[in-house]
Every structure is written in C-alpha cells, then in structure tokens.
Amino acid sequence: MKIVVGSTNPAKVNAVKKHFTEEEILGMEVGSKVSSQPYSDEETYEGAINRARECANSAKGCMGIGLEGGVMELENELYLCNWGVLVDAEENTFTASGARIPLPEEIAKELEKGRELGDVMDAFAEREGIRLNEGAIGIFTNNLVSRMDMFEHVVLLLKGQYEFFHQQRK
C-alpha cells in the first residue's frame, strides 16, 4: 500500500518511513488550511486532519497521514503540542497527539508577537532549520527527545490503532 504524508519535512516523513517499512512512502506538500503557527490543540488537530484528508484523496487506494505542530496555552504557559491523523483507503480516521513540554518564557514571548516557532528557534539556537532536525523539543530536552522521536511515537499510536481496528473486523 502507498502512504502519502502531508509534508516534506524529514522529521515527519522519516518518522513514518521508520515504522511503515513495507509500504511505499511519499512526502507531499499540502496546505494545512490553518494558520502557519497553530495556537491551540483544536487548531493543531484541524491542521493534521486537513493534511491527512488531502493526502488520502490524492490517489486511489492510498492512505494519508497528516502531522502538525503547534502550541497551546495552559496555566499561563505555552506548551508545544503535536497532532497526527491517519485516514485509510476506506476513510476510517485515527487520531493521536504527541508529547508536550512547556516553552521557556523568552520563546513564548516571541510567539505572542505573532512569530513562528521555527523562526524563533533558529534565532535562539543561531542555526537554520531546527524545525527540520531536532526541533524545539530536542533543544529543550537536551537532545534526549528529537522532533522525529516525538513524531515516531505519534505514528506508532496511529499505526497501532489502525491495526487494532482492522484486526477486530476480521
């Protein structure tokens, strides 16, 4: 089966490739149809579902996976939040969220001004492409958990639910 992932970001595409080794994986740029910096669980979830649906509809018989990163407010702190959605060839939909950690106040302040986390992180680390590599989660966990590790866990949660659902129907 072919799996279309709604992104070309290697932190996302490689997380899918690692856990769907039998399938053909294609990364494709699709619109999330939400803001480029989602600011709540709802908006981040919405972005993931929009990406997954568009991917699932892009070719006959394929499966779509949407992975979306964002932030959400809780108790006066801004947390990283991530959502994943898998839409299979029959349009069954599976959802999962990723691990979350609070962002340091100096980062949160920049986001409140309307900047995107990817850009803020590059400025903070004085390096380009943090979002394509270890991500904010990698930097703020001292590289113990990378952005790909986090998305891998989301992909496993999606894959496991998909397998359970299809096994139950046999």
Ligand X SMILES: O=P(O)(O)OP(=O)(O)OP(=O)(O)OC[C@H]1O[C@@H](n2cnc3c(O)ncnc32)[C@H](O)[C@@H]1O
Nearer to ligand X, 74 or 163 (CB): 74
**Min. distance of Cβ 32 from ligand X in angstroms?**
6
| Sequence-separated (6 or more) residues with CB below 8 Å from residue 57 | 64
CB count in 10 Å sphere of residue 25: 17
Please identify, using beta-carbon distances, which residue of 142 and 167 lies nearer to ligand X: 142
Nearer to ligand X, 87 or 136 (CB): 136
Beta bridge partners of 24: 2
Number of helices (H), then strands (E), belonging to the chain: the values are 6, 5
Give the footprint of ligand X on this chain (CB under 6 A): 7, 9, 12, 36-37, 68-70, 80, 116-118, 121, 130-131, 135-137, 147
Check the annotation: does 9 bind a ligand: yes
Asked whether the beta carbons of 85 and 65 are under 8 A apart, the reply is yes
Q: Who contacts 29 (Cβ-Cβ below 8 Å, separation ≥6)?
A: 6, 7, 8
Q: How far is the CB of 170 from ligand X (least distance, A)?
A: 34
Least distance to ligand X, CB of residue 159, Å: 19
Compare residues 68 and 88 and give the one whose CB is closer to ligand X.
68
Token pair recorded at residue 112: 């409140």
In angstroms, what is the minimal distance from the CB of 167 to ligand X?
30
Residues annotated within a binding site for substrate: 7-12
